[in-house]
A and B are shown apart, each in its own frame.
Chain A
Amino acid sequence: MKATIFVSALLLFCAGCTSQQSEQLTQQQVDQIKSEVKLAGDSLMAKLRRLDPGWSLYFVESPDWKMINADGSHNDYQTFANSTNNFNTSVATYNWATTRQDFIVAAKDMVICSWIGKDELTFKSGDKMTYDPHSYTLIFKKIDNQWKVFYSHDSGVPVMSKVGKK
């Protein structure tokens, strides 16, 4: 009897552990996670549009932090944090329009977001910069019940329109 129970428990253990990842999440859980991350991304963009400095709080310093820019350069977290101040003081208006957004739920607290859209910045100098398209690969991690970005890679070609030039 002991052997039967032990073998059954062992089989249950082995069967249960063959797949340990997102397959364990129900479709309802996956949908819930996607909607949470979408909401976090939308809130980030809404704050950017309002030029609310709180947008930068959606990014979090992490040992795995990486920010790859459209020109192939990369920023460490401190460089990013410093650049946010520059953005907040030099930009007059910011607009973003999403054209596509996909999510890969890697785990219950890790999501990869592919985000494509068009953005337009107007600087206080009057110069304008547009990216169309502008593509992002973002990795969100849930920390203290909030979704935060610790990995960002974007690409696109900036088109500058200098004030007074046509």
Chain B
Amino acid sequence: MKTIIFAPALFLLCAGCSSQQPSQLTQDQKDQITGEIKTICDSIVAGWNRLDMDASLAYYSDSPESIHFRGDEVALDFPAMKKNWIDGVPTLTSYTWTTTNQYYPIVSNDVVVCCWQGHSQVVMKSGDIINFKGAYTSVFRKTAGQWKVVVGHESGTAVTKKAGRN
């Protein structure tokens, strides 16, 4: 009898605890994960558009594995990326990012990629206007129940219209 009870329990243990790959997740689970990431991505963009970098940075991991690529720059760790964002705010009048395409490949049940494509307009306090068209890749890892960006990658092309020039 003990064996009869133990064997199904052991089967349940093995079946339930094997690492869940995307193909093993149910559609409901995938939809749930996608919904969670989409909400966070929208919050990050909303923070940018309010120039409230602290609000956006709250969704970024400060772990040593964090790495961020910005165009032509070398890789930045979280503290350098944070400084870059915070230091930039006083030079800006407004920032507006518009997403034209986004999707969320699920790598595993605790790692998800958010891919945004779109364009932004940055109005500098100097009067310069920068129009950027490009894409962001954000790799989220779920740690202690929270989704945080551990890899950020930006690329695109920027055109600067200097103040006072038509």
Contacts and interface: CB of A to CB of B under 8 A. Distances in A.
A102 B107 CA distance: 17
Contacts of B20: 20-21
16 contacts: A13-B9, A13-B13, A20-B18, A21-B109, A68-B115, A72-B135, A106-B111, A107-B21, A109-B21, A110-B108, A112-B107, A112-B151, A114-B67, A133-B74, A135-B69, A151-B113
A156 B156 CA distance: 9
Given A108-B19, A114-B69, 9 more contacts: A6-B5, A10-B9, A16-B17, A22-B110, A66-B115, A71-B134, A72-B135, A112-B151, A156-B155
Interface in B81-117: 103, 105, 107-111, 113, 115, 117
Interface centre among B10, B18, B109, B139 (most CB of A within 10 A): B139
Contacts of A74: 117, 135
Contact of A6 (B9, B19, B103, B117): B9
Contacts of A104: 65, 111, 139, 141, 150-151
Interface in A111-166: 112, 114, 116, 133, 135, 137, 139, 151, 153-157
A12 B156 contact: no
B39 interface: no
Contact of B107 (A10, A68, A107, A155): A107
Interface of A: 1-2, 5-6, 9-10, 12-13, 16-17, 20-22, 24-25, 64, 66, 68-72, 74, 100, 102, 104, 106-110, 112, 114, 116, 133, 135, 137, 139, 151, 153-157
Interface residues of B, number: 45
B107 A71 contact: no
Interface of B: 1-2, 5-6, 9-10, 12-13, 16-21, 65, 67, 69-72, 74-75, 103, 105, 107-111, 113, 115, 117, 133-135, 137, 139, 141, 150-151, 153-157
Given A104-B65, A106-B111, A151 B105 contact: yes
A63 to B, nearest CB: 9
B17 A135 contact: no
A164 B105 CA distance: 45
Contact of A9 (B9, B17, B19): B9
B111 to A, nearest CB: 4
Given A21-B108, A104-B150, A112-B139, A137 B6 contact: no
A20 to B, nearest CB: 6
Contacts of B155: 68-72, 153-156
